[in-house]
């Protein structure tokens, strides 16, 4: 078992939650989302994100609208749908529980 | 001066220099292959293209350059990442199941000599195409089948154009690793070639050769069955055209080879002469053969998955050429009918000396299973019928009655007179022949020859085995079949020939007879033994009492 694989899988697991989290604080371009995730070292390359965004959009969790850009072609401006917002809240609960559980299990017993 | 290539990304035109373009094209096609199986693959690709356009645009503005260079493309790849990373394997079961790719036949455009058929077959079987080429060459030189097979395969197997098809051709899954392997293969190839150049390469060549021969044999058997099926279909169609086919020597499809072509001339030329009729017949035969040939191509193309854009044209021209061919054949054959209108007979009498004859016949060697045969500008015709009859005359004689057809009586007569029948008497030996010859120019016009030996009563004759083929219902007192009459001595009586050395036992097979006697004896012995045993038992019983 390779440590890299495990790390990548851990990151992948929380990636969807993080995207929904970023968008819950306000609408964003794909490139904005990428910048934030890159900054947090959750993703290394941009390519990973485009299929993920499309999947979330196809699942009706995200919506988008076209915005003109002076840097090039029009961009997709993403926002959470009502369904996405509910989804994000539920994941938030799950994440907090999970976080607590992991914390308790892995911390040295006092 | 460097060449630039224009591309359109998300509606924006970019100029790429040649090196950058090649790299970018490969990268984008890899991305497309990676995402092609995704549900909304096209949408994702459009998003990515838009992003690339954005980055290119920004960099152009920053540097003020007009042309996208290799560094820009490398930056894109670095930023977006390798396409393998794009797909989340756990969510995508589809690519895994399709990794068990079935092989498909493709022609290989990258390693082709003529049409890429051999290297395609080689790729399919995982063996060096050289072996396939050798096989085709052997087939070409020995029978000519190699040529027609190659043409049919060329027409029906699709060419591997896309990267995916090239992978399918080798039976490899269409995924990114394999695509990359395919692209780097060219460089690998040259480096491995260098390593092979030592003595080791010779050994490995032999080992690989043996290995590939075995794998070839196994896989080839399967394909051979398929080809045999197609061949059977093909020959069946050809057999339907048997009437026309018989003007060629269709023995083992040999008519295609040069050899067969020359042999095939004999039969056709003997009937059709060498003028326009023969030409029309031959062209007609070829044209009629195009239809099954085209049908075979269409059929195989369906199997190999080639889309024939002009299959309608193919079937139309096939049917059209079939009809034209039939018309040509009918015109050619029809024009012959007038050549058979009149018939004339000429009779020669040869007086024989002596009262005792030993009859043998010259047998035509080098038979091609054909009625006639051209040799030294002569037409050998095997159409001789031999009979023996009684005569009131005191001397034996041989009657040669030759008949032939012609456009008019004088032509038929001239033809009947131009016979040459080799026959000779030397003491008792009377030599006949199972063929007669006519000049090649007189053509085959229904010539036949009736040879009648007329014997006075009391004359004797011995029939040699060699006359079997020309005997025709010779009357005899014993009422024996022609074949049974051979090898015996006969005497002419007023009722016909009578056998003088045929024992009655001769009607049975001597071996059978002997066997049945032996069997009878054994049975008798057994029954006697059984009876003896029974008697002994009864005797014992009596004694016991």
Tell me if B54 and A55 make a contact (CB, 8 A cut-off).
Answer: no
Mean pLDDT, chain B, whole residue set: 77
Are the C-beta atoms of residues B494 and B409 closer than 8 Å to each other? no
The pLDDT of residue B214 is above 60: yes
The answer to whether A14 contacts chain B (CB < 8 Å) is no
Q: How far apart are CA B43 and CA A54, in angstroms?
A: 8
Angle at B180 between CA B177 and CA B185, to 5 degrees: 120
Lowest mean pLDDT of A27-41, B76-90, B184-198, B352-366, name the range.
B184-198
Q: How far apart are CA B292 and CA B242, in angstroms?
A: 13
How many residue contacts between A and B have a Cβ separation below 8 Å?
Answer: 76
| pLDDT mean over B226-234 | 67
Question: Which has the closest alpha carbon to B149: B165, B133, B169, B161?
Answer: B133
The pLDDT of residue B452 is above 90: yes
Model confidence at B535, pLDDT cuts 50, 70, 90, reads very high
The pLDDT of residue B99 is above 50: no
Are the C-beta atoms of residues B321 and B283 closer than 8 Å to each other? no
**C-alpha dihedral over B246, B252, B258, B261, to 10 degrees?**
-10
| pLDDT mean over B351-378 | 73
Q: What is the 3-state secondary structure (H, E, C) of B364-393?
A: CCCCCCCCEEEECCEEEECCEEEEEEEECC
- Residues of chain B with Cβ-Cβ distance to A72 below 8 Å are 10, 12, 50, 53-54, 56-58
Distance from the B95 Cα atom to the nearest Cα atom in chain A, whole angstroms: 15
The pLDDT of residue B112 is above 60: yes
The answer to whether A71 contacts chain B (CB < 8 Å) is yes
Lowest mean pLDDT of B90-94, B443-447, B499-503, B507-511, name the range.
B90-94
Which of A42, A51, A56, A68 is the best mutation test for B, with the most CBs of B within 10 A? A51
Distance from the A99 Cα atom to the nearest Cα atom in chain B, whole angstroms: 23
Tell me if B51 and A31 make a contact (CB, 8 A cut-off).
Answer: yes
Sheet holding B460-463, edge to edge: B424-426, B429-433, B356-362, B460-463, B489-493, B496-499
The pLDDT of residue B292 is above 70: yes
Cross-strand pairs, B511: none
- Residues of chain A with Cβ-Cβ distance to B53 below 8 Å are 72-73
Could you tell me which chain A residue has the CA closest to the CA of B79? Answer: A45
Q: State the DSSP string of B54-100.
A: HHHHHHHHHH--SEE-HHHHHHHHHHH--GGGGS-GGG--HHHHTTS
The pLDDT of residue B56 is above 50: yes
Q: C-alpha distances in angstroms, B487 versus A40, B284, B391, B483, B492?
A: 111, 49, 23, 9, 16
Could you give the domains of chain A? 3-106 (1.10.10.10)
Greater confidence, B452 or B189? Answer: B452
Distance from the A81 Cα atom to the nearest Cα atom in chain B, whole angstroms: 19
Q: How far apart are CA B340 and CA B355, in angstroms?
A: 41
Are the C-beta atoms of residues B399 and B451 closer than 8 Å to each other? yes
Distance from the A69 Cα atom to the nearest Cα atom in chain B, whole angstroms: 9
Model confidence at B248, pLDDT cuts 50, 70, 90, reads very low
Which residues lie below 8 Å from residue B347, measured CB to CB, with a gap of 6+? B399, B400, B401, B402
- Residues of chain A with Cβ-Cβ distance to B57 below 8 Å are 71-72
Element (H, E) at B433: strand B429-433
The pLDDT of residue B267 is above 50: yes
What is the ipTM metric for this complex?
0.84
The answer to whether A33 contacts chain B (CB < 8 Å) is no
Are the C-beta atoms of residues B463 and B486 closer than 8 Å to each other? yes
Residue-level pLDDT at B196: 45
How is residue A53 written in tokens? 């965004």
- Residues of chain B with Cβ-Cβ distance to A19 below 8 Å are none
For residue A43, the tally of other CB atoms under 10 A from its CB is 22
Any idea how long chain B is?
545
φ, ψ for residue B361 (rounded to 5)? -135, 145
| pLDDT mean over B181-191 | 53
The pLDDT of residue B217 is above 90: no
Tell me if B58 and A76 make a contact (CB, 8 A cut-off).
Answer: no
Instruction: Give chain A's residues under pLDDT 50.
Output: none
Residue-level pLDDT at B95: 40
Which residues lie below 8 Å from residue B4, measured CB to CB, with a gap of 6+? B15, B16, B17, B18, B21, B67
Model confidence at B197, pLDDT cuts 50, 70, 90, reads low
Q: For B120-175, write each residue's pLDDT tens digit.
A: 888 888 887 788 888 877 777 666 667 777 878 888 888 887 777 777 777 776 66
Greater confidence, B420 or B312? Answer: B420
Candidates B57, B58, B81; nearest CB to A45:
B81
Lowest mean pLDDT of A37-46, B297-306, B364-373, name the range.
B364-373
Q: C-alpha distances in angstroms, B90 versus A4, A9, A45, B466, B484?
A: 16, 10, 19, 86, 87
Greater confidence, B303 or B57? Answer: B57
The pLDDT of residue B317 is above 60: yes
Residue-level pLDDT at B486: 87
Candidates B39, B48, B54; nearest CB to A50:
B48
Greater confidence, B401 or B121? Answer: B401
Radius of gyration of chain A (CA): 16
β-strands B384-391, B448-456: how paired? parallel
Q: How far apart are CA B381 and CA B257, in angstroms?
A: 26
Reduced to 3 states (helix: H, G, I; strand: E, B; else coil), residue A77 is strand
Angle at B26 between CA B306 and CA B183, to 5 degrees: 75
Share of chain B above pLDDT 90, in %: 9
Q: How far apart are CA B542 and CA B330, in angstroms?
A: 96
| pLDDT mean over B326-350 | 86
- Residues of chain B with Cβ-Cβ distance to A75 below 8 Å are 50, 54
Tell me if A72 and B48 make a contact (CB, 8 A cut-off).
Answer: no
For residue B253, the tally of other CB atoms under 10 A from its CB is 18
Greater confidence, A13 or B61? Answer: B61
Residue-level pLDDT at B398: 92
Residue-level pLDDT at B250: 42
Which of B34, B41, B54 is the best mutation test for A, with the most CBs of A within 10 A? B54
The pLDDT of residue B73 is above 80: yes
Residue-level pLDDT at B120: 85
Are the C-beta atoms of residues B53 and B9 closer than 8 Å to each other? yes
The pLDDT of residue B411 is above 80: yes
The distance of Cα B101 from the centroid of its chain, to the nearest Å, equals 33
Question: Which has the closest alpha carbon to B323: B243, B315, B235?
Answer: B315
Q: How far apart are CA B318 and CA B320, in angstroms?
A: 5
The pLDDT of residue B91 is above 60: no
Candidates B54, B85, B91; nearest CB to A47:
B85
The answer to whether A6 contacts chain B (CB < 8 Å) is no
The answer to whether A54 contacts chain B (CB < 8 Å) is yes
The pLDDT of residue B1 is above 70: no
Q: How far apart are CA B132 and CA B105, in angstroms?
A: 14
């Amino acid at each position: 078992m390779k440590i890299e694989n495990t790390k990548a899988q851990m990151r992948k697991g929380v990636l969807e939650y993080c995207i929904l989290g970023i968008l819950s604080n306000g609408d964003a371009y794909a490139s904005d989302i990428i910048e934030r995730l890159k900054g947090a070292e959750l993703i290394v390359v941009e390519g990973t994100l485009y299929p993920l965004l499309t999947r979330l959009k196809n699942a009706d969790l995200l919506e988008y609208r076209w915005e003109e850009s002076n840097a090039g072609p029009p961009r997709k401006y993403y926002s959470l749908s009502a369904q996405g917002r509910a989804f994000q809240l539920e994941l938030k609960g799950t994440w907090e529980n999970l976080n607590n559980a992991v914390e308790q299990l892995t911390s040295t017993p006092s | 001066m460097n060449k630039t290539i224009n591309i359109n990304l998300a509606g924006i035109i970019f100029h790429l220099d040649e090196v950058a373009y090649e790299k970018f094209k490969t990268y984008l096609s890899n991305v497309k292959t990676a995402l092609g199986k995704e549900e909304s693959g096209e949408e994702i690709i459009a998003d990515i293209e838009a992003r690339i356009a954005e980055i290119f645009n920004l960099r152009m503005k920053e540097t003020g350059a007009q042309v996208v260079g290799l560094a820009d493309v490398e930056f894109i790849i670095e930023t977006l990442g390798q396409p393998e990373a794009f797909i989340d394997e756990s969510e995508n079961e589809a690519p895994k199941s399709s990794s068990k790719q079935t092989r498909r036949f493709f022609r290989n455009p990258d390693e082709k000599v003529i049409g890429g058929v051999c290297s395609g077959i080689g790729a399919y079987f995982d063996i060096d195409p050289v072996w396939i080429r050798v096989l085709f060459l052997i087939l070409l030189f020995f029978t000519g089948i190699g040529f027609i097979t190659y043409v049919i395969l060329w027409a029906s197997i699709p060419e591997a154009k896309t990267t995916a098809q090239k992978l399918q051709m080798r039976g490899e899954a269409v995924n990114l690793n394999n695509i990359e392997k395919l692209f780097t293969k060219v460089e690998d190839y040259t480096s491995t070639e260098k390593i092979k150049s030592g003595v080791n390469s010779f050994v490995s060549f032999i080992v690989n050769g043996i290995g590939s021969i075995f794998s070839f044999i196994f896989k080839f058997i399967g394909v051979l069955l398929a080809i045999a099926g197609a061949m059977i279909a093909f020959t069946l169609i050809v057999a339907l055209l048997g009437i026309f086919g018989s003007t060629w020597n269709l023995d083992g499809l040999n008519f295609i080879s040069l050899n067969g072509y020359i042999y095939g001339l004999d039969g056709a030329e003997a009937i059709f002469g060498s003028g326009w009729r023969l030409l029309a017949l031959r062209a007609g035969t070829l044209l009629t053969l195009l239809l099954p040939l085209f049908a075979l191509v269409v059929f195989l193309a369906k199997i190999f998955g080639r889309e024939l854009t002009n299959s309608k044209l193919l079937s139309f021209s096939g049917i059209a050429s079939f009809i034209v061919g039939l018309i040509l054949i009918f015109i050619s054959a029809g024009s012959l009918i007038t050549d058979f209108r009149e018939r004339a007979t000429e009779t020669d009498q040869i007086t024989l000396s002596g009262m005792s004859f030993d009859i043998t016949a010259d047998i035509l060697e080098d038979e091609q299973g054909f009625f006639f045969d051209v040799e030294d500008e002569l037409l050998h015709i095997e159409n001789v019928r031999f009979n023996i009859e009684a005569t009131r005359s005191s001397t034996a004689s041989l009657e040669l009655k030759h008949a032939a057809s012609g456009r008019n009586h004088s032509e038929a007569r001239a033809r009947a007179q131009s016979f040459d029948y080799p026959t000779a008497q030397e003491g008792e030996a009377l030599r006949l022949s199972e063929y007669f010859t006519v000049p090649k120019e007189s053509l085959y016009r229904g010539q036949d020859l009736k040879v009648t030996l007329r014997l006075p009563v009391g004359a004797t004759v011995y029939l040699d085995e060699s006359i079997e083929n020309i005997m025709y219902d010779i009357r005899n007192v014993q009422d024996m079949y022609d074949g049974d009459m051979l090898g015996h001595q006969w005497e002419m009586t007023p009722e016909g020939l009578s056998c003088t050395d045929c024992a009655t036992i001769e009607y049975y097979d001597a071996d059978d007879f002997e066997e049945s006697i032996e069997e009878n004896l054994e049975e008798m012995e057994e029954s006697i033994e059984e009876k003896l045993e029974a008697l002994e038992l009864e005797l014992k019983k009596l004694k016991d009492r």
